[in-house]
Amino acid sequence: MSTTTELATKRAAARAGGGDKRIAAQHAKGKLTARERLDILLDQDSFEELDMFVEHDCVDFGMAEQKIPGDGVVTGSGTINGRLVFVFSQDFTVFGGSLSAAHARKICKVMDMAMKVGAPIIGLNDSGGARIQEGVASLGGYADVFQRNVLASGVIPQLSLIMGPCAGGAVYSPAMTDFIFMVKDSSYMFVTGPDVVKTVTNEVVTQEALGGAITHTTKTSVADNAFENDIETLLAARDFIDFLPASNRDGVPERPTADDWDRQEDSLDTLIPASANQPYDMHELIRKVVDEADFFETQPAHAANIITGFGRIEGRTVGFVANQPMVLAGVLDINASKKAARFVRFCDAFDIPIVTFVDVPGFLPGTSQELGGIIKHGAKLLFAYGEATVPKITVITRKAYGGAYDVMASKHLRGDLNYAWPTAEIAVMGAKGAVEIIFRGKTPEEIAERTAEYEARFANPFVAASKGFIDEVIQPHSTRRRIALGLRKLRGKQLENPWKKHDNIPL
């Protein structure tokens, strides 16, 4: 056989994975194969594979006779819209995508290369877990991957796409990456599956309820976004990676935009309802401020009282954090604090400027919040904003009450530009509550009179502006222009925190 023919034969064997029967079974579940997924994720013909011929070296339990080139994971690099990324895609048709020592070495190799050159790493997870025949060698392989996740954190973006089973030790690698996308009805993540749960605790639970995409994007916040099928998930990942810098050494990506930086948005002048208790949708403000109304929201189904996600201003990526008056009146609670804190720290790690829209009546009261540790969890968001050295622009649209005013990227936490709309109310608390404390025991008439007085005195942005806590009171219609100018101005910002090995954030 000629060497050319031999190469072609070997390549064909590697590309065949677990064979036609197993590929058909994968398709029957509504899932794509490892290679089909990479064809959608990466630009056409850009994938360059590494380690195609790697095989496991296990001789126990008859494994010496069962060898498939590639050993259950496809690894290499390619481009997304012309920008370099490194990828690994687990192949469920080969030994159920289970992780062997050789499989782990392949993943570690592309992770090391991604770190060396400064490019994102995207993992497509579809695996039955550790390869039991290899015993502790496969556990060692997992730990090697974990260690690389830790070292890569804050250096290169790490994205995990869960596209099938992900259980046991396997879940901890995605858990340490920056963002996790899941596929509805065909992917799940849990440390112990339904059978073990039933044996140990007698609870009967389905895979979907225990670790499905809906569970993890609504209740647990383990995953960021859930999509209908493999194709939607992969296309969303392409869009998403476009917002992120290649590494912490690179600036944010820029893309051309036809959206004028000084576009005036008159409809924002009537966004805030006349009644202080009436909600409005903060998404509308974000979409009207960003380029071409293009906003990629993270964790939309979890802690919806705060909005986090990426948009662009003048073609450059910006991270947005905004209280959402439509949900729980936009209060901060445990889940909202954790969600926003992690997002702020991601932006800070990768030099992505942060724009914060504030309409917050305070922290959520109640025993479940206090006993759940709202003090420590609320402090995470406070810490994240205070620690961040990236450009920070804050716009108070309506309420900014109490400690929550401080936490939401206030001037006191080194906010660079803090703006307020004329409708802003910056105070320790709402007028009625404040008056009832200050004038305890007065008649209802006096209370009403004092409330009106308090409102006139404090339900506006000018007291804070007179102290320099607000840089400028701006018209809502000029919000995009002000943010664009501010970000332009802050591009050369330099600010360093005191030297430390690392901080001790209240985890």
- Contacts of residue 453, Cβ cutoff 8 Å, sequence gap at least 6: none
Q: What is the DSSP letter of 16?
A: T
CA distance 10 to 454: 80
**Dihedral sign of CA atoms 488, 494, 500, 504 in order:** negative
Two structure tokens written together for 373: 């540790």
For strands 316-323 and 417-420, give the pairing: unpaired
Q: What is the DSSP letter of 284?
A: H
CA distance 343 to 222: 13
Q: Does residue 76 have an active-site annotation?
A: no
Q: What is the DSSP string of 118-140?
A: T--EEEEE----B-GGGTHHHHH
CA distance 277 to 399: 10
Q: What is the DSSP string of 79-114?
A: EETTEEEEEEEE-TTTGGG-B-HHHHHHHHHHHHHH
Marked catalytic residue, from 13, 16, 154, 169: 169
Q: Does residue 276 have an active-site annotation?
A: no
CA distance 93 to 253: 37
Marked catalytic residue, from 18, 168, 211, 330: 168
Q: Is 307 helix (H, G, I), strand (E, B) or coil?
A: strand
Spell 60-73 as b/e; 16+ CB within 10 A means b: eeebeeeebbbbbb
CA distance 15 to 473: 62
CA distance 172 to 168: 8
For strands 316-323 and 306-313, give the pairing: antiparallel
> Tokens 């991957």, residue?
145
Q: What is the DSSP letter of 212?
A: B
Beta bridge partners of 308: 298, 321
Q: Does residue 404 have an active-site annotation?
A: yes
Residue type, 471: D
CA angle 133, 137, 140 (to 5 degrees): 140
Q: Does residue 403 have an active-site annotation?
A: yes
Two structure tokens written together for 435: 């008056």
Marked catalytic residue, from 34, 404, 427, 465: 404
State the catalytic residues: 168-169, 403-404
